[in-house]
Amino acid sequence: MATLPDPRALTRSDESTPTAQESLPLFPPVPCHREIERQAPTPPERAADRVGIARLAASSPLADSKRGAEYFLLPARSILNRCDSDRVPFTWTVNPYRGCEFGCKYCYARYTHEYMELDGGEFERKIFVKRGAGQMAARELRSNAVRGEHIAIGTATDPYQPAERDFGATRAILEEMAELEGLNVSITTKSDQVLRDLDILLRIHERSKLSVSLSITTPRRGLARLLEPRAPRPDLRIGAVRALRQAGIAAGILVMPVLPGLTDRIADLEILARAARDAGACWFAANVLFLMAASRKQFFPFLAERFPRLARQYQDWYTRSGYAPESYRAEIAERFASLRRKYGLETRPEAPERTPIHVQEQLALAL
């Protein structure tokens, strides 16, 4: 198997909490919306010489600026996007935002900003809120074409990033889903903020198939803070899985991505598997890091600064391909299969009982 050296010791586990702010009346009324009286905002750049999504982005008015990010109101034409790839287990995707404040160093979705003629480094600094998300969802979800087909929320950007507290695009979409029957919905997030919408999730759960995945790359707070600077702590995400399961909602953990030499230590993965079991998780799955060119531009300099002993190996593995060597991926797959057998976990979402389950008290994570 191809191997990498262990990373250096890590510190820092503090997490800042964004202050409460006012909200913009973009979507159907939800608790987190704000009202702002201000001059009409201006778009970030001239749009006349651009086409498609780049033109829409360039004509998007600036809504707010805080936490080191700018927020633009994107005049999107659709909220449901059909995915025809055989490599993914869903038919439709929903991403209420373009860009993500969590700023994960490895994020594969940075390339989506390039479609808007923006550099991938702006992914966490220029956030685009899809305007009218609730209204678009109300119209598109009522199409017979989506009934029973898998709708995945949060495939490219996190639906519960900090912007959701201010704009409520995700909640507006979920409210429309709660009015319908026969949907098949999954949510993937790195945030315990998903619990804010537990009331709506329970309504969806009663009438449709629903699963929620919390993405956790490492149980170590210091390492998580370096890799995912503004995402909630790993223990908060574990707590969200527990709360969802206690409510009877199918929930599990995705260790995605597994970062070679950084988050693949057997002891750390064992901690996560045990925590998943104790939280009542329905599944425990993983994928090894996939690194596209737009992501390499951000991730390689980060490695060179913080983990120089790993930088050369990553360059050897990922410069010509977005994938780690097959031998390494096979080894990680077997490692997770062994952990699932040991802790009685599944590989994919399974519908839980309709009644809430009893979950063991959480064991403390070795952070």
Residue pLDDT, tens place only, 218-270: 999 999 999 999 999 999 999 999 999 999 999 999 999 999 999 999 999 99
Which is the CATH superfamily of the domain at 52-343?
A: Aldolase class I (3.20.20.70)
Domain boundaries, the chain: 52-343
Dihedral angle, C-alpha 211, 235, 359, 284, nearest 10 °:
50
Task: Tell me what pLDDT residue 311 has.
Answer: 97
Measured distance between the N- and C-terminal CA atoms of the chain, rounded to whole angstroms? 28
Task: Tell me what pLDDT residue 68 has.
Answer: 83
Task: Tell me what pLDDT residue 181 has.
Answer: 94
Task: Tell me what pLDDT residue 55 has.
Answer: 57
Q: How far apart are CA 319 and CA 278, in angstroms?
A: 39
**What phi, psi does 180 have (nearest 5°)?**
-115, 165
Task: Tell me what pLDDT residue 86 has.
Answer: 67
Task: Tell me what pLDDT residue 148 has.
Answer: 84
Task: Tell me what pLDDT residue 34 has.
Answer: 38
The crossing angle, in degrees rounded to 10, of helices 293-306 and 308-318 is 160
Task: Tell me what pLDDT residue 47 has.
Answer: 52
The closest alpha carbon to 364, from 256, 278, 283, 252, belongs to 278
Tell me which residues of the chain have a pLDDT lower than 70: 1-59, 61, 63, 65, 85-87, 350-367
